[in-house]
Amino acid sequence: MSGPVATKDLTVEAPRERGAELEGYAWLPRMLDKARAMLAGSAGSYQFGCPVDHTCMARLGIAPELVLDLAARHGDDHAVLDALRAHGIPSAAEAWFDAQAVEDELQATGNYLRVRACDELPEAEGGRVFAGAEHGAAVSVVMIDAGPADQRESHTHPVEEVVVVQQGAATFFLAAQQARIVRAGEVLRVPAGVPHRWVVAGDSRLRAVALYGAAEIVTSPA
């Protein structure tokens, strides 16, 4: 069994090759090199958390935080693997994937699963906003988290809005006359160009997701 692995300075050398395996586990050696370098501030252009890293972690059923914690606590790759096995990762055969094929696909197409933490998104439109234009998407999303009695003033959008209520309830007002309480587990559509507003109903927080078929959310006061 090998001993501790020295933390690589990835500003002057590359991490272990893409095809390197640890007891049959694909990509782990390269990912651990990047994790240790990130912790040491010497990752350079080899950032931990690339799409292939996430493919590896998805196959193992683990989170980036666990990899970083174990990389910080264990200089020996085999000790990291022992700890991962204690967390219940699948066998090497079950978790194996062709890392080079993933990398080749990324380079050829540029397609990857782009993920953003909700709490890192800017606040606007009554919630946290995923503006499609800023993320290469043709749709935009607002994650609403509002307390009792909170409300959104009357406004319009040039495109339809679809709202999925996940928790709590809100009274939605449409145009001059209509009103309806929309509760958790319900989905509503707001027509394009029609004034609307909402007020949180009851004593529970409102958590909802509003979706727009546009790369940018255009809002006008009504």
CATH of the domain at 140: 2.60.120.10
The tally of domains found in the chain comes to 2
Q: What is the pLDDT of residue 114?
A: 87
For residue 164, the enclosing domain spans 118-221
> Residue 13 falls within a domain, yes or no?
no
Domain-embedded: residue 16: no
In Å, how far from its chain's centre is CA 122?
15
Residue type, 31: M
Residue 127 has pLDDT above 60, yes or no: yes
> Is residue 200 situated within a structural domain?
yes
DSSP string of 46-114?
--TT-HHHHHHHHHHT--HHHHHHHHHH-SSHHHHHHHHHHTTPPPHHHH---HHHHHHHHHHH-----
Confidence of residue 190 (pLDDT cuts 50, 70, 90): very high
Tell whether 105 and 124 lie within a shared domain: no
Residue (of 180, 187, 147, 148) closest to 166 by Cα position: 187
Residue 33 pLDDT level (bands cut at 50, 70, 90): very high
Average pLDDT over residues 164-187: 97
- Examine the pLDDT at 1 and tell me if it is beyond 70: no
CA dist., res. 81 & res. 76, Å (int):
9
* 165 and 78 within one domain: no
Q: What are 189's two structure tokens?
A: 């559509």
Share of the chain above pLDDT 70, in %: 99
The answer to whether the pTM exceeds 0.85 is: no
pLDDT of residue 2: 60
Write out pLDDT tens, residues 34-71. 999 999 999 999 999 999 999 999 999 999 999 999 99
| Contact partners, residue 186, CB within 8 Å, separation at least 6 | 165
Q: What is Dmax (Cα atoms) for the chain? A: 75
Decide if pLDDT at 3 tops 80: no
Residues 70 and 153 in one domain: no
Q: Tokens 């914690």 label which residue?
A: 69
Task: Give pLDDT tens digits for 81-126.
Answer: 999 999 999 999 999 999 999 999 999 998 888 888 999 999 999 9
Residue 11 domain-assigned (yes or no): no
Q: Residue 6 — pLDDT band, cuts 50, 70, 90?
A: confident
Sequence-distant (≥ 6) Cβ neighbours of residue 221 within 8 angstroms: 153, 154, 155
Q: Which of 42, 77, 109 is the last residue of a domain?
A: 109
178 and 213, same domain (yes or no):
yes
CB 119 within 8 A of CB 128: yes
Q: What are 132-163's pLDDT values in tens digits?
A: 999 989 999 999 999 999 999 999 999 999 99
pLDDT of residue 213: 96
Can you read off the two tokens belonging to residue 4?
């501790």
